[in-house]
Amino acid sequence: MNYLKNKISIISLFILTLIVSFANAQILDPVKFSTSVETIDASNYYLVVTATIDKGWHLYSQDIPEDGPIATSIILKNDSNNFQLIGKPIEDKGHTDFDKIFEMEIKYFKNTATFKQRIRLLTNKKVDINGEIEFMVCDDSQCLPPTFKDISFSLQGKAGMLATATEINKLTAENTVVKKKNGESKVTPSKKNSSSKKGLWTLFILSFFAGFAALLTPCVFPMIPMTVSFFTKQSKNKAIGIRNAIIFGLSIIVLYVFLGVIVTKVFGAPALNALATNVWFNLIFFVVLIIFAFSFLGAFEIILPSSWGTKVDKQADKGGIIGIFFMALALAIVSFACTGPIVGTALVAAATQGGIAPIISMFGFSLAIALPFTFFAAFPGWLNSLPKSGGWLNTVKVVLGFLELALAFKFLSNADLVLDLHLLEREVFIAIWITIFGALAFYLFGKIQLPHDSPLTHISVGRLSLGLVVLSFTIYMIPGLWGAPLNLISAFPPPQHYSESPYGVGYYKLGNGGAANHADIPEGAHLMAPHDILAFNDYDLGLAYAKKVGKPVMIDFTGKACVNCRKMEQNVWVKDKVLKIIKNDIVLISLYVDDKRSLAEGDVVDSKLNPGKKLRFIGQKWSELQAIKYGTNAQPFYVLIDHNEENLNDPVGYTPNVDEYYNWLEDGLSNFK
């Protein structure tokens, strides 16, 4: 009886061990895909890919910002050119949250997701369409590497005419959002999402304030009483005066909005969006804004040819509606020295947003200028409440010049980021802004005089108050040089990882020892900032070095887009007792499973996990190594091995508890010794 009990206990223990082993090392597959075809008409169809996502996991959208996680993408093969793609795949609304690790809004899906690609058949024969979907999924503790899965469709209909670019744009605009209704996916007419509306409203408000700032410059403000005098003399009675004032205001708006329409039409929405990340666009506007800034600071004036103003004035003298319109045009030309740089800056900002943004920007700008002219022309008595022209107008102009100068470096920073030159890293950018706004504060306090400034006998309360605000802002930016996030201006400086000290100067070289001598870095290794951790990104080179120095190896299966990998590096590895081991007692080999660099031609081999497929990228090589050798595909995943590539203890995944991770390291080291 005791023998039977012991045998049952042994069997139970064996089964329990298997269960635990299976739970700790398994190939996770939390997303299942199915395909179907929806008919629009005899020639047009939707290819539908439906993802069923396990509870707790989320699948990323197709539209992920740069430097974010791996986006979902659908690739369809069309070697025979027997169908035509209409636009890009459309997808469910999903969920959008701010990700603190990536410092950006990221869209993802839970439970289910539907993607639809519209196509048009170009043949009457049966069409078999093959392709693949690339995707990445994460849960709260781990991320899986980028994965490819095959998809296929079969359909037959009537050949249609090849769609033109105009037709494609129209069809894409009509159907861009997939919504859920009664458990089924349904394509509905697109609507501007809330973020887009919010962006246009923000642009309108900023442009309105820019127009108000332009109104307070020495080129525009003195024009108000002159304009009022013109309408007072020309109007036979008050009603006609009000009518003419309204026509004058509307003319100003029409002129500037027409400028916005021209910019939109000439470049087009897609081109404007493309320009936002174009290196030459950013460099050109950096130079343009520098010129505008020095113009405002008094180095020179930007004026249009005087002949333009003379010709327009002659037309304005004719009177009537045409005359009023040309007077508005004369105002725009005469005031160009002050309004030109502001209009140019507003259009640049609008260009980075694309679409109808330039029109919205010019409407907001012109409305701010038109309203005061209209009201004062309609009610001349209000002029008595206006402050008198004087040196304060030039002060407004100079302040705008400093703001233009600061904004210029945002465009230079964009170009540097795109080219990855690291010439204008975060610390340099913040130092430049501290200098610019510090100089502005000194100017407002009267310590700096510029060419067109009036003698300053005293500082007004308004100027002092603005100076204190600018000085406070300058002091606020100083900790950014040592890694402070600076949330108030987070959209302007380069991201924190694009810096000399990615995790802040205060964390530089924490811990003890390690390979801090850059001259001693072995071939194939590099030092991980900010703690000078010696790391290899190649398995063979790292293992060879470990044998040479007599240390065990820690394999770090990680990913560039792995959130919890960054959490481990920023919150666990930085602790002194953990950092000391990683720097001194082991050789770190970090293998990025989402490395999209192509393998060398001689290294391209057949996949053992997916027969018939080739390993095309470096990340696929490491991902397959992890899956085959360790039976898992989740990151982060840490393995301690000896020189014979045998495990020193059980591998671990995401381990946010510092003591637990430290004990795991200590256990592996003691087994190695």
pLDDT at 1: 45
User: How much is the average pLDDT of 61-76?
Assistant: 82
Q: What is the pLDDT of residues 535-564, one digit of tens each?
A: 998 999 999 999 999 999 999 998 765 667
Task: Tell me what the pLDDT averaged over the chain comes to.
Answer: 75
Confidence of residue 180 (pLDDT cuts 50, 70, 90): very low
Is the pLDDT at 481 greater than 80, yes or no? yes
Confidence of residue 92 (pLDDT cuts 50, 70, 90): confident
| Lowest-pLDDT choice from 30-44, 291-305, 524-538 | 291-305
Q: What is the pLDDT of residues 346-363, one digit of tens each?
A: 666 665 555 567 778 788
Please give the domain boundaries of the chain with CATH numbers for all domains: 31-191 (2.60.40.1250), 195-389 (no CATH), 509-672 (3.40.30.10)
In whole angstroms, what is the distance from residue 355 CA to residue 646 CA? 58
Q: What is the DSSP string of 578-615?
A: HHHHHHHT-EEEEEETT--SBPPGGG--B-SSSTT-B-
Provide the phi-psi class of 630: left if phi over 0, else alpha when psi is between -120 and 50, else beta: alpha
- Widest Cα–Cα separation across the chain: 121
Q: What is the DSSP string of 94-143?
A: -EEEEETTTTEEEEEEESEEEEEEEEEE--SS-EEEEEEEEE-EE-SS-B
pLDDT at 297: 82
Confidence of residue 2 (pLDDT cuts 50, 70, 90): very low
pLDDT at 344: 64
Residue 532: strand, helix, or coil:
coil
CA terminus-to-terminus distance, the chain:
44
User: How much is the average pLDDT of 337-345?
Assistant: 61
pLDDT at 274: 44
Q: What is the pTM of this model?
A: 0.44
pLDDT at 290: 86
**Between 559 and 662, residue with greater pLDDT:** 662
Confidence of residue 384 (pLDDT cuts 50, 70, 90): low
Residue 10: strand, helix, or coil:
helix
Residue 16: strand, helix, or coil:
helix
In whole angstroms, what is the distance from residue 632 CA to residue 26 CA? 5
Contact between residue 365 and residue 214 where contact means Cβ atoms under 8 Å apart: yes
Is the pLDDT at 435 greater than 50, yes or no? yes
Q: Is the dihedral of CA 557, 562, 564, 568 positive or negative?
A: positive
**Between 478 and 570, residue with greater pLDDT:** 478
Structure tokens at 411: 């465009």
C-alpha distances in angstroms, 546 versus 320, 469, 557, 582, 669?
89, 56, 17, 13, 13
**Residue at token pair 């009603």:** 239
Give the Cα-Cα-Cα angle 214, 218, 224 (nearest 5 degrees): 80
> What's the per-residue H, E or C state across 476-500?
HHHHHHHCCCCHHHCCCCCCCCCCC
Torsion of CA 213, 219, 224, 228, to 10 degrees: -150
In whole angstroms, what is the distance from residue 132 CA to residue 117 CA? 13
Structure tokens at 469: 């605000």
| Phi, psi for residue 9 in degrees, rounded to 5 | -65, -40
Torsion of CA 316, 321, 326, 329, to 10 degrees: 140
Percent of the chain having pLDDT more than 90? Answer: 16
Is the pLDDT at 22 greater than 50, yes or no? no
pLDDT at 138: 83
Q: Bridge partners of 181?
A: 184
pLDDT at 270: 42
Integer Rg of the chain from CA: 32
- Which residues, in sequence order, are CB contacts of 113 under 8 Å at separation 6+? 50, 51, 53, 59, 91, 92, 94
In whole angstroms, what is the distance from residue 324 CA to residue 240 CA? 13
Do you know the residue count of the chain?
673
Q: What is the pLDDT of residues 244-284, one digit of tens each?
A: 777 777 887 887 777 777 766 665 444 444 454 466 777 87
pLDDT at 635: 83
Q: What is the pLDDT of residues 96-141, one digit of tens each?
A: 887 665 667 788 898 899 999 988 888 888 888 988 898 888 887 7
Is the pLDDT at 201 greater than 80, yes or no? no
Is the pLDDT at 15 greater than 50, yes or no? no
**Between 5 and 615, residue with greater pLDDT:** 615
Contact between residue 59 and residue 51 where contact means Cβ atoms under 8 Å apart: yes
Is the pLDDT at 588 greater than 90, yes or no? yes
Is the pLDDT at 306 greater than 90, yes or no? no
**Comparing C-alpha atoms, which of 126, 29, 135, 22 is closest to residue 72?**
135
User: How much is the average pLDDT of 215-221?
Assistant: 62
Is the pLDDT at 495 greater than 80, yes or no? no
Q: Crossing angle for the helix pair 336-351 and 194-215, nearest 10 degrees? A: 170
pLDDT at 205: 82
**Comparing C-alpha atoms, which of 163, 153, 155, 169 is closest to residue 50?**
153
Confidence of residue 624 (pLDDT cuts 50, 70, 90): confident
Percent of the chain having pLDDT more than 70? Answer: 66
In whole angstroms, what is the distance from residue 494 CA to residue 418 CA? 11
pLDDT at 600: 81
Structure tokens at 491: 């959209």
**Residue at token pair 């047009």:** 44
pLDDT at 516: 44
Q: Bridge partners of 558?
A: 592
User: How much is the average pLDDT of 389-418?
Assistant: 76
Confidence of residue 179 (pLDDT cuts 50, 70, 90): very low
